[in-house]
A = this chain, B = another copy of it.
C-alpha cells in the first residue's frame, strides 16, 4: 500500500472520521510543517506508554498519583464520583468543585454486559470506609445507565446516614431555549425546580 493510502486507512479508524475527512486530513499533513507532524506522531505513539490510571481515583495521570489526589489544597471532605476519566477534567475545569474524584470506569448497563462487578465499586467503598468524606456527589451522566448507577451507589451507602449524598442537577442547559429542549429534560427541570 502507498504511504498516503496507509495514512488514510489509519486515520479512517478514528471516531467520527469518514473517507473524505481522512483524505482531507492526510493531504493537510502532507502540506503542513514536518516538525509538527513529528511532534504529533510521537505524541500519539507514546501516549499510552506515558499515561496510566491513578491508583487512588482512576483518572489518567503520568505521575505515581494524579494531580487531584496529590493536591493538598483540594477539599478532602468531598468526593465526586464520575463515569469516565475525561469527566474529571470537565468537572475540575468548571471551577465549581474543589474536592476529590473517583472514576468508576463506566456505568451499569446490564444489556451492554456491564454489571457492577466491571466497575471500581470495591475501591470506592474502601475509600469511603477509610473515612474523612462528608459529602458524596454522584456525577454519573443523566442517562438511564447513569441514573441506574447513581441508585446503585445510593443503595451501597444506605447505612451511612452520616454522609450527605447528592447528585448533579439536571435541567435546561445554560444559553439553551425552552423550544429546543427535549421533553425528558424539560420534565426533569420542572421536577427539580428551585425556589427563588
Contact A44 B47 (CB under 8 A): no
Q: Is A62 an interface residue (CB 8 A)?
A: yes
Q: Please tell me how many copies of the chain the complex holds.
A: 2
Known: A15-B25, A34-B48, A89-B23. A7 touches B43 (CB 8 A): yes
Q: In the complex, which residues of chain B have a beta carbon less than 8 angstroms from the beta carbon of A13? A: 36, 40
Contact A42 B45 (CB under 8 A): yes
**Partner among B15, B27, B44 whose Cβ is within 8 Å of the Cβ of A86:** B27
Besides A37-B47, A40-B41, A40-B44, 8 more A-B contacts (Cβ < 8 Å) are: A2-B62, A2-B67, A4-B62, A11-B40, A30-B47, A30-B48, A30-B60, A41-B42
20 contacts between A and B (CB under 8 A): A2-B61, A2-B67, A3-B46, A3-B50, A7-B44, A10-B36, A10-B39, A15-B25, A16-B21, A23-B86, A23-B89, A27-B60, A29-B48, A30-B48, A30-B60, A40-B44, A41-B41, A41-B45, A42-B45, A45-B45
Q: Is A135 an interface residue (CB 8 A)?
A: no
Name A's B-contacting residues (CB within 8 A): 2-4, 6-7, 10-11, 13-16, 21, 23-30, 34, 36-51, 60-62, 67, 84-86, 89
Q: How far, in angstroms, from A4 to B34 measured CA to CA in the complex?
A: 21
Q: Nearest chain-B residue to A85 (Cβ)?
A: B27
